[in-house]
C-alpha cells in the first residue's frame, strides 16, 4: 500500500514493529518481549528484522513507505532526534536514534517519547479524537505523560515536558528508578503495584494472591482480584489515589478537556478509574472539573505505535 508508515515501539516491556496505513489500520505487526540485557545496537537490529517480517506479511515494499515513526520508552531530545536516557534499559544515553534509522531506511524519520506518541495516537485515532486539550497518562513499567495543548504536542523548553511519573507524591516512599524518593512511578506503576502486594504478603497479610509465586506476581494479578480480595482492592485503591493526586495537580495547571489513561495497568478499567476519579475530584478546583472527562484509552498497547504513525505522517506531509 503506497503511503504506508513503518512504526517502531521501543519499551521496557516490549518491542514492536508494524506497517500501518495512513488511516491507522495496522496491516502487519510483530511484537516481542524486551530483553533488558540487550544493548541498543542489538535492539535496533532486532527491530529491523521484525520490520522486514512485517513488510513481507503485509505485502508492502520499502519503496511503498513514506516515513518511519518511533515511540521510545524514555525522554527524547525531540529536535535532535536523540534519546536522552531510559530508566528501564541501559545504554540509551544520547543515542542519535532518528539519524541511525533514517540513514538505514532512507526515509523521513521521527522519534518521540512513548507518552507523547501515545497522546498523539489517542488524539488522532482513539479516545480523544476532536479534543484540543488532552492529558495522556501511560501507566505501565513506568509512568509518563503526554500533553496536547491547542491541538499540538507540548514538549517544553528542552523536550522534557510530561515527566509526571517523577512527581513527588510520597516523601517517605521507596526509591524510584530515577534515583529519587517517592515518585509517582515508584508508587503506582505496574512494578510498584506488584511490589506493594509482595511486601504485604511477606508481612503475613491474608490474600488469594498467596497462591501466586512471589517471582511471578504482577499488577495484572492484583487488578484481576481487586473486586473479590481485600488486599488486592486496597493496593489498587492506593495506586489510584496516588495517580489521582498527580493528575489533579496537572488538571489544575493545564485545564484539559480530557484525561486519557493508557498503558498496561489501564487494563484494570474501573478498578483503577474509581479511585483516580475520586482523588481528582478531591484535589481539583471545581471549575476545572466542569467539562473534564477521565477515560481509559481506546488504542491499548498500540497507542505508542499509532502515535508514531501520526508523528511520521506529519513529517512526511511537511516535506
Confidence of residue 317 (pLDDT cuts 50, 70, 90): confident
Nearest to 189 by CA among 241, 139, 223: 139
- Mean pLDDT within 171-177: 94
Whether 1 has a pLDDT exceeding 70, the answer reads no
Distances (CA, A) of 189 to 111, 219, 236, 263, 309: 24, 8, 11, 10, 26
Total residue length of the chain: 319
- Give the separation between CA 53 and CA 222, rounded to whole angstroms: 36
- Give the separation between CA 272 and CA 276, rounded to whole angstroms: 6
- Give the separation between CA 40 and CA 95, rounded to whole angstroms: 9
Instruction: Tell whether pTM > 0.75.
Output: yes
Concatenate the DSSP letters of all residues of 68-115 into one string.
EEEEESS-EETTTTEE---SSSTT-TTB-HHHHHHHHH-S-EEEEEHH
Q: Where are the domains of the chain?
A: 4-121+301-318, 127-297
Residues 304 and 71 sit within 8 Å (Cβ to Cβ): yes
- Mean pLDDT within 41-48: 96
Residues 139 and 188 sit within 8 Å (Cβ to Cβ): yes
Model pLDDT for residues 45-60, shown as the tens digit of each residue: 999 999 999 999 999 9
pLDDT at site 228: 95
CATH T-level assignment (fold) for domain 127-297: Nucleotidyltransferase; domain 5 (3.30.420)
Residues 76 and 83 sit within 8 Å (Cβ to Cβ): yes
Model pLDDT for residues 127-152, shown as the tens digit of each residue: 999 999 999 999 988 899 999 999 99
Residues 156 and 147 sit within 8 Å (Cβ to Cβ): no
> Crossing angle of helices 303-318/114-125, nearest 10°?
80
Confidence of residue 191 (pLDDT cuts 50, 70, 90): very high
Q: How far is CA 174 from the centre of its chain?
A: 22
- Give the separation between CA 203 and CA 213, rounded to whole angstroms: 15
CATH, domain range 4-121+301-318: 3.30.420.40
- Give the separation between CA 236 and CA 68, rounded to whole angstroms: 37
Strands 65-72 and 109-113, sheet pairing: parallel
Distances (CA, A) of 115 to 10, 164, 215: 12, 10, 28
Residues 267 and 303 sit within 8 Å (Cβ to Cβ): no
Torsion of CA 171, 175, 178, 182, to 10 degrees: -20
The runs of H, that is alpha helices, within the chain are 40-58, 97-105, 114-125, 184-188, 190-202, 219-225, 230-254, 270-283, 286-289, 303-318
Concatenate the DSSP letters of all residues of 233-258 into one string.
HHHHHHHHHHHHHHHHHHHHHH--SE
pLDDT at site 184: 98
Amino acid at each position: 500500500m503506497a503511503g504506508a508508515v513503518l512504526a517502531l515501539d521501543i519499551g521496557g516491556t516490549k518491542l514492536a514493529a508494524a506497517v500501518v496505513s495512513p488511516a491507522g489500520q495496522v496491516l502487519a505487526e510483530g511484537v516481542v518481549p524486551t530483553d533488558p540485557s540487550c544493548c541498543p545496537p542489538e535492539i535496533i537490529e532486532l527491530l529491523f528484522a521484525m520490520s522486514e517480517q512485517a513488510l513481507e506479511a503485509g505485502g508492502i515494499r520499502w519503496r511503498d513507505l513514506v516515513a518511519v515513526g518511533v515511540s521510545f520508552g524514555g525522554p527524547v531530545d525531540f529536535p535532535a532526534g536523540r534519546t536522552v536516557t531510559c530508566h528501564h534499559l541501559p545504554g540509551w544515553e544520547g543515542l542519535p536514534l532518528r539519524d541511525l534509522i533514517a540513514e538505514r531506511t532512507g526515509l523521513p524519520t521521527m522519534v518521540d517519547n512513548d507518552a507523547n506518541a501515545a497522546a498523539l495516537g489517542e488524539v488522532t485515532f482513539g479516545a480523544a479524537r476532536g479534543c484540543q486539550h488532552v492529558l495522556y497518562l501511560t501507566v505501565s513499567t513506568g509512568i509518563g505523560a503526554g500533553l496536547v495543548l491547542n491541538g499540538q504536542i507540548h514538549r517544553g523548553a528542552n523536550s522534557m515536558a510530561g515527566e509526571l511519573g517523577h512527581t513527588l507524591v510520597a516523601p517517605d516512599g521507596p526509591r524510584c528508578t530515577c534515583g529519587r524518593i517517592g515518585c509517582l512511578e515508584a508508587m503506582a506503576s505496574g512494578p510498584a503495584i506488584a511490589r506493594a502486594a509482595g511486601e504485604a504478603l511477606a508481612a503475613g497479610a491474608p490474600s488469594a494472591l498467596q497462591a501466586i509465586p512471589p517471582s511471578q506476581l504482577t499488577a495484572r494479578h492484583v487488578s484481576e482480584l481487586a473486586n473479590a480480595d481485600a488486599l488486592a482492592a486496597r493496593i489498587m485503591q492506593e495506586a489510584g489515589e496516588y495517580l489521582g493526586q498527580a493528575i489533579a495537580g496537572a488538571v489544575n495547571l493545564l485545564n484539559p478537556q480530557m484525561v486519557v489513561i493508557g498503558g498496561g495497568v489501564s487494563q484494570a478499567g474501573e478498578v483503577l478509574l474509581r479511585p483516580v476519579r475520586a482523588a481528582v475530584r478531591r484535589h481539583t478546583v471545581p471549575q476545572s472539573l466542569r467539562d473534564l472527562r477521565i477515560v481509559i484509552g481506546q488504542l491499548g498497547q498500540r497507542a505508542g505505535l499509532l502515535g508514531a504513525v501520526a508523528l511520521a505522517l506529519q513529517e512526511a506531509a511537511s516535506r
